[in-house]
Amino acid sequence: MRTEEEVKKVLFDEEAATSLVKELRASFTNGKTRSYDWRVTQLKSMLKMIDEREQEIVTALRDDLSKPELESTVYEIAMLRNSITLALKEIKHWIKPEKVKTSLTTFPSSGEIVSEPLGVVLIISAWNYPFLLSLDPVVGAIAAGNAIVLKPSEIAPATSSLLAKLVGEYMDSSSIRVVEGAVTETSALLEQKWDKIFYTGNGRIGRIVMAAAAKHLTPVLLELGGKSPVVVDSGINLQVAVRRIIAGKWGCNNGQACISPDYIIIAKSYAPKLVDTLKSELEKFYGKNPLESKDLSRIVNSNHFTRLVKYLDEDKVSGKIVYGGERDITNLKIAPTILLDVPRDSLIMSEEIFGPLLPILTVDKIEDSFDIINSGTKPLAAYLFTNNKKLRQQFVSTVSAGGLVVNDTTLHLAVHALPFGGVGESGMGAYHGKFSFDAFSHKKAVLYRSFAGDAAIRYPPYTVGKLRL
């Protein structure tokens, strides 16, 4: 027999989706979500929700991913808190019309850009940072004055169900709703006409989302993934570099993060030193038996576990594992694993890894790394460790990726003044800070004229004399 919860989920079909959107659209149309007070109240309620229910959030994240508490509190909860605090601080400036210069053609006139809410928006999120990735876009959508449906990932069921419960308790349910579910429910939602769809996840589903949106000419913001490379130059502080690579890889959900380092490129002669340093730092952080470490998330489910193990068991990578490789299928754990000199046409180098495996490619000259990166699809992030200004300049000007970091990994995500998003196959559009507000706003061009300055040249008859003016 199905549980009540399961029955409710199945009942969320196209008819239910249509009626939900109708309800939210009525709420948007009556102007409720546009008001400054509504926006601020909702943001404050979300803050209160985090403050009062933090422990439940940490527990749900532990249930879904055995995510270490520190990672949950810093990378999911504190990051969201910062987003809300910033929005509350800045919203008055964000919503203010922006004055612009006008031209001689329109003299006398004034102009401004008015940010207007888009309407009713759909946010579909992924399982790896299931709390942050669900609510961070909601912050932008609220700040911009929209009605919102959030569809969290079914692959993180504890967080999904907690989000449904908490949003129901703390937020205005006439304008902000959570729909739980998987393909059936998301497909029902995607049949509806939205004013924007914000999707986080893989590119295969991104294409489904974009095709559904095209039917209604709905704009999309796609936060996708990719193979984010790390180029390691020689003559650097290798220990610091390695610690920062480890923090961005295994310290971010055990590599299950969209901007985690996917692979390293290094000069052949320097690679043994890198491998030794990685080994010793990894052992310091996670001990001799990392499968037992409480500081590493588990692999989210058996499908992803099988996918990752397949990379390691492919014939082409046989003998390439220089560290790790241990796995525990019962607890869905895979140890931090380093592979050296894997063939470029191996499976592990053909797909986004999204897990604790780190291949190292070697090159004769470090400058060759940029061609390797640019020969693949555009990644969500790219990293370079160097002291060489010329190399750094070359990296910034030639490597195309959603974002770049020099001498660290992943931290661009924490800078609200930087847009966060992909390019090419790693996504389209960006959010964070004011970019989140802009992502959910229409920038309405408004020109103000008076009755003065009515130039005769605009009007027929179009005489030769007018042409010469």
Residues involved in catalysis: 223, 258
Judged by CB under 6 A, which stretch of 10-18, 91-99, 180-188, 458-466 contacts ligand NAD? 180-188
154 touches ligand NAD (CB under 6 A): yes
**By C-alpha distance, which of 261, 255, 251, 365 is closest to 299?**
255
d(Cα 469, Cα 447) in Å, to the nearest integer?
25
Provide the sign of the torsion angle of the four alpha carbons 9, 12, 17, 23, taken in this order.
negative
User: What would the DSSP string read from start to end of 88-135?
Assistant: HHHHHHHHSPEEE---GGG-SEEEEEEEEE-SEEEEE--SSSTTHHHH
User: Three-state SS string across 390-454, please?
Assistant: HHHHHHHHHCCCCEEEECCCCHHHHCCCCCECCCHHHEECCECHHHHHHHCEEEEEEEEECCCCC
Residue 32 in tokens: 């409720």
Considering beta carbons, is residue 175 or 256 the nearer one to ligand NAD?
256
Select the residue interacting with ligand NAD from 136, 223, 233, 438 (CB under 6 A).
223
Residue-level length of the chain: 469
423 binds ligand NAD (CB under 6 A): no
Torsion of CA 459, 460, 466, 467, to 10 degrees: 110
- Residues 128, 159, 218, 369: which binds ligand NAD (CB under 6 A)? 128
By the rule CB under 6 A, 224 interacts with ligand NAD: yes
Nearer to ligand NAD, 58 or 133 (CB): 133
Residues numbered 67-86 forming contacts with ligand NAD, rule: CB under 6 A = none
Establish if 153 lies at the interface with ligand NAD (CB under 6 A). yes
Least distance from ligand NAD to the Cβ atom of residue 425, Å: 10
φ/ψ of 363, rounded to 5, equals -130, 160
Q: From the list 50, 91, 123, 126, which residue makes contact with ligand NAD (rule: CB under 6 A)?
A: 126
Residues 200, 254, 369, 386: which binds ligand NAD (CB under 6 A)? 200
Task: Candidates 54-62, 105-113, 127-135, 444-452: pick the segment binding ligand NAD (CB under 6 A).
Answer: 127-135
Which one among 290, 336, 379, 427 touches ligand NAD, defined by CB under 6 A?
427
Residues that bind ligand NAD (CB under 6 A): 124-128, 133, 151, 153-155, 182-183, 186-187, 200-202, 205, 208, 223-225, 258, 352, 354, 380, 422, 427
